[in-house]
Amino acid sequence: MSESGDRTDLASESDATEKAVEFVASSRLRRGASAHQIQGLFRKIDLVLDTKIGEAQARQPHPVPIACHAGCDHCCHRVVFSTDLEAMAAAIHIQQRFSNAQKEALEGNLAEYAKHIGPKMGRDLGLDRRPCPLLEDGLCSIYEVRPISCRSQFSASVEACREARDNPGIEFPASQPESAIGSAAAAGLRSGMSASGLWPNSVDFARVLGIVLTDEEACEYYRSGQAIFEIAEPVAEVKSHPLAQPTPKHGGYGEEEEATGQPDDSCLTQARFLLKADGDAESAFAQGPVDSALHQMFRMQVPLSYGHTDEIEYWRNRMIRAFEEFKASPFDAREKFDAISVYNPLSLSYQQRNDKELLSDIGDYLTHEISATVFPDLCRPLPKRRRQGKLKVGYIAAQLSQTSGSYWASGWLKNHSKDVEAYAYYLAPTLDPGAVQYQRYAHKFYHCPGPVGPTARLIKEQNLDVLIYPDVTAEARSIQFATLRLAPVQCAAWGCPETTGLPNVDYFLSSEWMEPEYAQAHYREMLVLLPGAGICYPRPSRSGMGWTKSHFGLDDGPLYLCTQLPPKLLPQWDGLFREICDRTGRPIVFFSYPYTAAAATERRLKAAGVRAIFMPILNVMQFYDLLALADATLDSVGWSGGITTLLTLQQGRPVITLPGEFRRGRQSMAFLRAANAPGLIAADANDYVDLAINADRRQSALETMHPDALFDNTESVRALEDFLFSACRD
């Protein structure tokens, strides 16, 4: 057998392993993730893994002797990665088999381990050579239920393993074919978990084990599809500028070819990096290839941070000029449709102006000049249908993770009455658990990662009455669809910060408490005011890790926190933060999210005299802990908190807000009203500072607060349905 023949055999063996494990996992987990199901599942996976490894070994033409033996433990000096489910399987085994003394000792080891690994915040875990907390006298204490990565760890050389243990830069040897079969089994398990609504991410096995052994509630949340073990995920760091990509070939459509809407946009890698990570818009927009439709569209955006308020107008004018250039450019309409995949109106929303006119001009051009040319059959008006029976309502989104601008709408979807037949269309390539929630609640769910035309025709042919875009401008792929006419009534909703400006979006589903008087002047769409805060947010987990201020590197003094993304912090409000620092003598903790020009914002705040501490990105459980420790969280003015405000109030901590001019600056105000804590809504800038420095005022406002009222509130769903039934009549 030739060498390439061996590789082909191994590839097909791996493929078969992945499929077998995926099948086992999805069929078992469909019946639930009880202890019984989990144990049964891993017994089956072990069988598959042992069989496949045995078969693959037997096929080796020149097998290399394996050096592994009991008591050889160099490879156990590392961070072991697994799925959460493998840690749960180990926890079940420990609960059933370990004595109380063993359990106590292990919990101590795991706590020590968490203390050591926690401050790394998920970084450089592959370089850690601490012994695994499950190791007892050189032997694995959970040998029968060790994770897949341990089961498939083999080596031909003890010496090579010793060298890797002593030199963290050197990887442990991974003997083939065992390692390939192990990776395939792990991939199959993840796919099966994902299909069953469980988070399939790779986590630090020992950290998750430490949580599940001590927090039964955490397991319940996990089983319900919540991403509560994110704290144990490894975090990839951007260490340097990515290399500039070679310029791809754009356009080149044959005469009869249809635009896909999915161009190769790797030519923008460097430009994106400069814009988002460095905040260097000038250099980003000067990056080549400047004469492509994609790049021209890329320039139709504004930076995510500003050094001075004057820059806002400057960049706005630059964006308008870029739009004029895009309109005048000679590209094929199909190339221009592809270019919509990088349109970024969200950047404009951060400027906190009324963008109705500009977004409407752009929306007209995208819809009438580009989409109507490329997809004439998908842009014609559709008559409303008069018919008996259920209302067919579709939801469409390109992002459904639990922090996205669309996930919240799963509360509407879940609580529709029997008079509604719900459809959901998910446009991203990979299904995540947020998407699985949609899958669970919709009567029909379609995963549509492919070209725009066939997906749009599928939707149109289903004769929906209504199509709802929960966060259309957050994802350019959604915008491509929203330029089309796929249902007689099309709506945008709360996850979109302002008007879409798109003529084929008829209504904007908003909140009576968020919108100011005369709000219709901010929207191209007809505004629909749903009662109260207008949304039905699924109750989130509130489990933290019990971290204290010292875990976050903070001192014991009062904690002032601003949880909002740096792009929401415009220069005109820096003075408020400075005054709070001056009058309290305390710093304010901000977040240094990657790719959001945090560095430029940090420089500006510090130059303005704000004592700012920038915290690296946290996993969700760390985030809950930090929120719970805050004496006061300071809302960004102009574009206030949304989901972060809900989570902060759920932790019983105060959010101090100063309502802005537009709906996006009034979200926290609506949530504070809904939670009955209006005392935290400032009347003006002076009042905002006073609330921040006056602990008694905050405390008295918290006394009336009922955060439970914020979640699973179905009043808005009933009002939404009333509106939709009336809008769909002829």
Q: Which helix (H) or strand (E) holds 204?
A: strand 203-204
Stretch that binds ligand SF4, among 154-162, 489-497, 671-679, 706-714 (CB under 6 A): 154-162
Judged by beta carbon, residue 164 or residue 627, the one nearer ligand SF4 is 164
| Residue 543 burial (CB count, 10 A) | 21
Write out the binding residues for ligand SF4, residues 529-588 only, by CB under 6 A: none
145 binds ligand SF4 (CB under 6 A): no
Q: Which helix (H) or strand (E) holds 444?
A: strand 444-447
232 binds ligand SF4 (CB under 6 A): no
Judged by beta carbon, residue 229 or residue 591, the one nearer ligand SF4 is 229
Judged by beta carbon, residue 154 or residue 688, the one nearer ligand SF4 is 154
Write out the binding residues for ligand SF4, residues 630-659 only, by CB under 6 A: none
Report the amino acid identity of residue 439.
Q
CB of 86 to ligand SF4, least distance (A): 10
Stretch that binds ligand SF4, among 43-51, 140-148, 282-290, 420-428 (CB under 6 A): 140-148
Burial of 578 (0-12, 13-18, 19+ CB in 10 A): middle
Number of residues lying near ligand SF4 (CB under 6 A): 19
Residues 6 or more apart whose CB falls under 8 angstroms from that of 598 comprise 305, 566, 590, 591, 592, 614
132 binds ligand SF4 (CB under 6 A): yes
Judged by beta carbon, residue 50 or residue 282, the one nearer ligand SF4 is 50
Stretch that binds ligand SF4, among 133-141, 370-378, 424-432, 579-587 (CB under 6 A): 133-141
CB of 173 to ligand SF4, least distance (A): 7
Judged by beta carbon, residue 153 or residue 301, the one nearer ligand SF4 is 153
Q: Which helix (H) or strand (E) holds 149?
A: helix 148-151
| Choice from 23, 39, 46, 67 touching ligand SF4 (CB under 6 A) | 67
35 binds ligand SF4 (CB under 6 A): no
Judged by beta carbon, residue 178 or residue 265, the one nearer ligand SF4 is 178
174 binds ligand SF4 (CB under 6 A): no
Q: What angle do CA 271, 273, 276 make, to 5 degrees?
A: 105
| Choice from 41, 80, 466, 486 touching ligand SF4 (CB under 6 A) | 80
Write out the binding residues for ligand SF4, residues 592-631 only, by CB under 6 A: none
| Choice from 68, 333, 554, 613 touching ligand SF4 (CB under 6 A) | 68
Place of tokens 């001056």: 582
Spatial contact of 226 and 217, defined as CB atoms under 8 Å apart: no
N-terminal to C-terminal alpha carbon distance within the chain: 71
Stretch that binds ligand SF4, among 147-155, 239-247, 277-285, 491-499 (CB under 6 A): 147-155
Judged by beta carbon, residue 143 or residue 595, the one nearer ligand SF4 is 143
| Choice from 48, 134, 474, 720 touching ligand SF4 (CB under 6 A) | 134
One-character DSSP codes across 309-333: THHHHHHHHHHHHHHHHHHHS---H
114 binds ligand SF4 (CB under 6 A): no
Phi and psi torsions of 400, nearest 5°: -130, 15
| Residue 143 burial (CB count, 10 A) | 12
CB of 563 to ligand SF4, least distance (A): 36
Judged by beta carbon, residue 91 or residue 576, the one nearer ligand SF4 is 91
Judged by beta carbon, residue 153 or residue 499, the one nearer ligand SF4 is 153
158 binds ligand SF4 (CB under 6 A): yes
Report the amino acid identity of residue 628.
A
340 binds ligand SF4 (CB under 6 A): no
CB of 207 to ligand SF4, least distance (A): 13
CB of 153 to ligand SF4, least distance (A): 5
Stretch that binds ligand SF4, among 74-82, 230-238, 429-437, 551-559 (CB under 6 A): 74-82
Report the amino acid identity of residue 726.
S
User: How many CA atoms within 13 Å lie on the side-chain side of 672?
Assistant: 25
Residue 497's closest CA among 527, 471, 524?
A: 471
d(CA 672, CA 658): 11
Judged by beta carbon, residue 165 or residue 604, the one nearer ligand SF4 is 165
Residue 128's closest CA among 138, 117, 114?
A: 117
75 binds ligand SF4 (CB under 6 A): yes
Place of tokens 């808005």: 716
CB of 147 to ligand SF4, least distance (A): 6
72 binds ligand SF4 (CB under 6 A): yes
150 binds ligand SF4 (CB under 6 A): yes
74 binds ligand SF4 (CB under 6 A): yes
Spatial contact of 348 and 355, defined as CB atoms under 8 Å apart: yes
| Choice from 16, 105, 121, 140 touching ligand SF4 (CB under 6 A) | 140
Stretch that binds ligand SF4, among 25-33, 73-81, 410-418, 644-652 (CB under 6 A): 73-81
SS3 of 439, please? Answer: helix
The encoded tokens of residue 237 equal: 């760091």
Q: Which helix (H) or strand (E) holds 620?
A: helix 620-629
* Number of helices followed by number of strands (H, E) in the chain: 29, 16
SS3 of 724, please? Answer: helix
Spatial contact of 603 and 614, defined as CB atoms under 8 Å apart: no
Judged by beta carbon, residue 164 or residue 598, the one nearer ligand SF4 is 164
CB of 134 to ligand SF4, least distance (A): 4
One-character DSSP codes across 379-438: SS--PPP--SS-EEEEEEES--STTSTTGGGHHHHHT--TTEEEEEEE-SSS--HHHHHH
| Residue 349 burial (CB count, 10 A) | 23
Residue 708 CA: distances (Å) to CA of 146, 190, 712? 40, 34, 9
| Choice from 106, 161, 492, 724 touching ligand SF4 (CB under 6 A) | 161
Judged by beta carbon, residue 158 or residue 695, the one nearer ligand SF4 is 158
DSSP 636: P
What is the contact surface with ligand SF4 in residues (CB under 6 A)?
67-68, 72, 74-76, 80, 132, 134-135, 140, 142, 146, 150, 153-155, 158, 161
